[in-house]
Amino acid sequence: MTQSKTTQNMPSMLPHIQALDTYEGVDPMEVMAERAGISPDKIIRLNGNENPYGPSPKVAGALGSYQNFNYYPDPGQRSLRRVLSGYLNVDQEMIVAGNGSDELIDLLLRMYVGVGDNVIIPTPTFGMYSFSAGICGGEAIPVERDENFEIDLEAMKAAITPKSKIIFLTSPNNPTGNIVPESQTRALLDTGMIVVMDEAYFEFCGETAIPLLSEYKNLVVLRTFSKWAGLAGLRIGVGAMDPELAATMMAMKPPYNVNLAAEVALITSLEDTPGLLVRVKQIVAERDRMMELLGKIPNLTPWPSRANFILCQVPEGQGQAIFDGLCSRGIFLRYWSSGRMKDFIRTSIGLPSETDAVVQAFSELCGGNNAA
């Protein structure tokens, strides 16, 4: 290969882009399998809060028989907004669908945050907010949650500067599993900042800020079909917000941001909502069973969760070793190697057999002689 010619005039990249840390997404199954030296079908993958039951069984049929993939999707999202209006119980004009809710987070940030602006984020939480803020040249101001991972309202308000634009709330919060009480949501909405309420796990808990949309123009509620509906790989999420804000977002989004396969899958999923909710119920029951089993392991503290995952606290200084031990058994959970979370490991709720394997592994790794 010949070396490409260097040019004197090649511009330098924007400093805030050069400074970005990569967002660590979940690796494909084959990569995990190779790392553990185990065949892919023996891997237990519980690090992305994905749905162990897959999409609605009707989705494969709908995608297989769909005839019009040669056409671009509707940039106005008319069919999508119609069905999503029923799902969210808000007017179509208040709805924007995205390539995952991740895209809606990115679009919102681009609407409000420029170089030098900031967003307020109660941590620990989902990593995408600060990552996407960084792409806009914005600063993420982290506000530590208290010892029970509850939001520190006074610290949140004190963190607001004239450059603050958006407050990100997550309910239930990833990775801690607890919800934001409505009184806190209202208090933060009263600051006048844009408040994003990310309800990625709504179906597992049933509590929503949607009714507050009629009171607050500065509220944006996000949902996704990645978790409850098992469509993570097709990438589709939705935002509900003030109609003017939604109109601007519709105008600035990439015209064909939601692909037709995702659209067909979403419409089919909503037709099969009762079937999907049966599985959600199963996952919630499995979470409660896993919670009880984890609670019996000496030296392990599972945090109560309203979502499809459980955050597990392991003995001080042992997070990395326990995570490595899990990986070598072919069990892939979510681990943060630094800061406050370094003795915490998050497990998604999978199939009952996966629960049993994870509980067994944790018993061996945390329980010492008391291993079950």
Ligand X SMILES: *Cc1c(COP(=O)(O)O)cnc(C)c1O
Instruction: Summarize as ranges the residues that interact with ligand X (CB under 6 A).
Output: 49, 100-102, 126, 170, 174, 198, 200, 224, 226, 232, 237
Question: Cα–Cα distance between 44 and 290 in angstroms, integer?
Answer: 15
Nearest approach, Cβ of residue 224 and ligand X (Å): 3
* Look-up of token digits 């079937």: 275
Nearest approach, Cβ of residue 170 and ligand X (Å): 5
Crossing angle of helices 319-328 and 29-36, in 10° steps, is 100
Question: Cα–Cα distance between 106 and 90 in angstroms, integer?
Answer: 22
Taking the least distance from each CB to ligand X, the nearer of 100 and 302 is 100
Taking the least distance from each CB to ligand X, the nearer of 239 and 330 is 239
Element (H, E) at 102: helix 101-112
Nearest approach, Cβ of residue 86 and ligand X (Å): 19
DSSP for 111-129, please give it.
Answer: HH--TT-EEEEEES--THH
Question: Cα–Cα distance between 293 and 287 in angstroms, integer?
Answer: 10
Nearest approach, Cβ of residue 192 and ligand X (Å): 24
Nearest approach, Cβ of residue 201 and ligand X (Å): 7
Question: Cα–Cα distance between 128 and 130 in angstroms, integer?
Answer: 6
Taking the least distance from each CB to ligand X, the nearer of 103 and 286 is 103
Taking the least distance from each CB to ligand X, the nearer of 107 and 297 is 107
Element (H, E) at 333: none
**Residue with CB nearest ligand X?**
100
Nearest approach, Cβ of residue 221 and ligand X (Å): 12
Residue 349 is classified by DSSP as: -
Taking the least distance from each CB to ligand X, the nearer of 121 and 359 is 121
Question: Cα–Cα distance between 282 and 276 in angstroms, integer?
Answer: 10
Taking the least distance from each CB to ligand X, the nearer of 198 and 354 is 198
